[in-house]
């Protein structure tokens, strides 16, 4: 029989390589009191605990995790610690103004550095390396759309952060077969995701936060915010788990895609599976062909997103969309294995990097991302009920969760800082449509993206299908 350590290691390349044991920490031992109860030990929950404990070491912070810290997307992702924020500048400007939209983007850039700073300060050996991100163009349609993207950023005053590179310049970063140039931003780092999550868990424990693993939360309610329950009054908020109850005036839900399992939140986000594969460590001959010496993150101009990194042990880890959305927002380990999608992702590696032909694929895995209805992440805190939430990061949560954690800590502690005035604070997306509309829309959009990519590859021209995709999934 497989041990729990083996089971958790099998969830991703990154978890597989974590040093030490992945045997779970003790579960909640029964009923306890806390000042803040956090549901979910991914980056959102752990960063929130980290900044709370940093600001007020006397706070009793309890983190409740159904599996182990880093079990979710935080232990499985594509390794981009990116300054990208999922909502567009236009969306943010619409309700908060142009200056607020730009402030949000600038704070995202700073957040990438903050992750690096905190990891270094805590001695977290997660290979943080800020080499930027190259988005390659391999069709004329990609060239057109990426140049338009560079112009769009420039129109928001961010020309320096997003530069179009001609082929020769792009090749200096990464040599991609069929490259016609690319869009480069320095505002992205690569990390080892699971080492970051596990290292962060250890860092919060050093600050006397308690993480209870294998502690599934069944239900929760807020309790009136900080100060409401210092005396342990009966109107306290509470989090009921299979192992006992945590009574706390402040409760933070940090469950991202898994939020759909929480009472009353079934349509809060759309869980979409993103799947990844990793090659075996590649030899020096392969890297001489490809370059990639700056350990940049890598993506390209296709609609059905792919994302890749060079790992610190010299593999290529590449992921992509294309897995189906499952009816009723279902989440299951079974959905992490889609042989056809794995094969397609492997084909992308050999097409873009022919020197990898013959390299073995050693790891295949996946996990759910959380997509809000308007593709606009949010961080919310209600001082009256003491309930906080952050999420809906789409596929850009590695850095955004850090900003979420800092922001939740400030909101909970009542601190009037610049970040609590950013436009995503108190942003609430409307719920997704009931089934079967979610299922139809999500799966149709995935097919349309694949079809648009195929058409652009054959014709070299931007596909009209691409214009329809946002309307199917996004209503801004």
Burial of 123 (0-12, 13-18, 19+ CB in 10 A): exposed
Is 43 a binder of ligand FAD (CB under 6 A)? yes
Residue (318 or 469) nearer to ligand FAD, CB: 318
- Give kind and range of the element (H or E) at residue 64: strand 61-64
> Would you give the binding string for ligand FAD spanning residues 261-300, x where CB under 6 A is met?
x------------x-x------------------------
Q: Out of 254, 282, 341, 420, name the contact with ligand FAD by CB under 6 A.
A: 254
Is 62 a binder of ligand FAD (CB under 6 A)? no
Strand partners, 39: 64, 253
Contact 418, 447 (CB under 8 A): no
Q: Out of 14, 258, 381, 424, name the contact with ligand FAD by CB under 6 A.
A: 258
Is-cis flag, bond preceding 436, omega within 30? Answer: yes
Residue (139 or 215) nearer to ligand FAD, CB: 215
Shortest Cβ distance from residue 186 to ligand FAD (Å)?
16
**Pairing mode, strands 378-382 and 387-391:** antiparallel
Is 82 a binder of ligand FAD (CB under 6 A)? yes
- What tokens were used for 186? 């320095």
For residue 81, what are the CA distances in angstroms to 29, 48, 92, 255, 297?
35, 17, 21, 19, 9
Is 395 a binder of ligand FAD (CB under 6 A)? yes
Is 135 a binder of ligand FAD (CB under 6 A)? no
**Pairing mode, strands 133-136 and 80-82:** unpaired
Q: Is 266 left (phi over 0), alpha (psi -120 to 50) or beta?
A: alpha
Phi–psi pair at 318, nearest 5 degrees = -130, 135
In 3D space, the residue among 219, 234, 240, 233 whose CA is nearest the CA of residue 28 turns out to be: 240
Is 72 a binder of ligand FAD (CB under 6 A)? yes
- Of 254-262, 320-328, 339-347, 353-361, the window that binds ligand FAD (rule: CB under 6 A) is 254-262
Is 250 a binder of ligand FAD (CB under 6 A)? no
CA distance 57 to 74: 25
**Pairing mode, strands 210-212 and 61-64:** parallel
Is 423 a binder of ligand FAD (CB under 6 A)? no
Contact 185, 167 (CB under 8 A): no
Q: Out of 64, 165, 243, 306, name the contact with ligand FAD by CB under 6 A.
A: 64
Shortest Cβ distance from residue 403 to ligand FAD (Å)?
11
- Considering CB under 6 A, how many residues would be counted as binding ligand FAD? 45
Q: Out of 345, 398, 445, 473, name the contact with ligand FAD by CB under 6 A.
A: 398
In 3D space, the residue among 198, 245, 211, 239 whose CA is nearest the CA of residue 72 turns out to be: 198
Q: Out of 129, 185, 255, 329, name the contact with ligand FAD by CB under 6 A.
A: 255
Contact 279, 48 (CB under 8 A): no
Q: Out of 397, 405, 423, 462, name the contact with ligand FAD by CB under 6 A.
A: 397
Residue (225 or 395) nearer to ligand FAD, CB: 395
Q: Out of 18, 36, 37, 77, name the contact with ligand FAD by CB under 6 A.
A: 77
Q: Out of 48, 111, 135, 401, name the contact with ligand FAD by CB under 6 A.
A: 401
In 3D space, the residue among 458, 84, 32 whose CA is nearest the CA of residue 243 turns out to be: 32
Q: Out of 141, 189, 217, 469, name the contact with ligand FAD by CB under 6 A.
A: 217
Q: Out of 184, 298, 381, 393, name the contact with ligand FAD by CB under 6 A.
A: 393
> Would you give the binding string for ligand FAD spanning residues 336-375, x where CB under 6 A is met?
------------------------------xxxx------
> Would you give the binding string for ligand FAD spanning residues 310-329, x where CB under 6 A is met?
---------x----------
Q: Please spell the DSSP secondary structure of 296-358, one letter per residue.
A: -EEEES-SS-EEEEE-TTS-EEEEE--PPPPGGG---GGGG--HHHHHHHHHHHHHH-GGGTT
Residue (80 or 432) nearer to ligand FAD, CB: 80
Residue least distant from ligand FAD (Cβ): 397
Adjacency order of strands within the sheet including 32-33: 32-33, 244-247, 238-241, 217-221
Residue (82 or 192) nearer to ligand FAD, CB: 82
Q: Out of 78, 223, 225, 388, name the contact with ligand FAD by CB under 6 A.
A: 78
Using the structure block, give the residue that is written with the tokens 């992750």: 115
Residue (41 or 420) nearer to ligand FAD, CB: 41
| Binding footprint of ligand FAD on the chain (CB under 6 A) | 39-45, 64-67, 71-74, 76-80, 82, 216-217, 254-258, 261, 274, 276, 307, 319, 366-369, 391, 393, 395-399, 401
């Amino acid at each position: 029989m497989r041990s729990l350590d083996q089971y958790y290691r099998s969830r991703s390349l990154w978890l597989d390589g974590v040093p030490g044991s992945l045997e779970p920490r003790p579960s909640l031992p029964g009923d306890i009191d806390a000042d803040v109860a956090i549901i979910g030990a991914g980056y959102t929950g752990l960063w929130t605990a980290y900044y709370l404990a940093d600001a007020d070491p006397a706070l009793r912070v309890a983190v409740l995790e159904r599996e182990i810290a880093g079990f979710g997307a935080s232990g499985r992702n594509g390794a981009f610690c990116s300054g990208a924020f999922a909502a567009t500048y236009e969306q943010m400007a619409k309700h908060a103004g142009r200056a607020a939209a730009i402030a949000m983007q600038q704070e995202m850039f700073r957040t990438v550095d903050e992750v690096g700073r905190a990891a270094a300060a805590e001695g977290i050996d997660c290979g943080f390396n800020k080499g930027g991100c190259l988005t390659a163009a391999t069709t004329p349609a990609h060239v057109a759309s990426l140049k338009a993207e560079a112009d769009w950023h420039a129109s928001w005053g961010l020309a320096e952060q997003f530069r179009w590179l001609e082929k020769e310049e792009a090749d200096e970063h990464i040599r991609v077969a069929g490259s016609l140039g690319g869009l480069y931003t320095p505002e992205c780092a690569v990390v080892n995701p699971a080492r970051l999550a596990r290292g962060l868990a250890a860092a919060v424990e050093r600050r006397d936060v308690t993480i209870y693993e294998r502690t599934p939360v069944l239900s929760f309610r807020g309790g009136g915010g900080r100060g409401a329950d210092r005396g342990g009054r009966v109107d306290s908020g509470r989090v009921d788990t299979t192992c006992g109850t945590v009574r706390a005036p402040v409760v933070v839900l940090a469950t991202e895609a898994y939020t759909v399992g929480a009472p009353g939140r079934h349509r809060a986000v759309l869980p979409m599976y993103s799947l990844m594969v990793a090659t075996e460590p590649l030899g020096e001959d392969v890297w001489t062909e490809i370059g990639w010496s700056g350990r940049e993150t890598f993506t390209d101009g296709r609609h059905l997103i792919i994302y890749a990194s060079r790992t610190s042990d010299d593999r290529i880890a590449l992921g992509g969309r294309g897995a189906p959305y499952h009816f009723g927002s279902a989440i299951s380990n079974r959905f992490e294995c889609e042989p056809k999608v794995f094969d397609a992702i492997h084909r992308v590696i050999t097409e873009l990097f022919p020197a990898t032909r013959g390299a073995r694929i050693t790891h295949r895995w996946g996990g759910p991302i959380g997509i809000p209805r308007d593709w606009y992440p949010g961080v919310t805190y209600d001082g009256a009920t003491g309930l906080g939430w952050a999420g809906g990061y789409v596929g850009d949560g590695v850095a955004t969760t850090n900003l979420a954690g800092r922001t939740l800590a400030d909101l909970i502690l009542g601190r009037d800082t610049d970040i609590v005035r950013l436009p995503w604070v108190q942003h609430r997306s409307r719920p997704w449509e009931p089934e079967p509309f979610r299922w139809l829309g999500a799966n149709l959009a995935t097919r349309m993206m694949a079809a648009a990519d195929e058409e652009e590859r054959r014709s070299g021209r931007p596909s009209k299908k691409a214009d329809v995709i946002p309307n199917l999934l996004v209503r801004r």
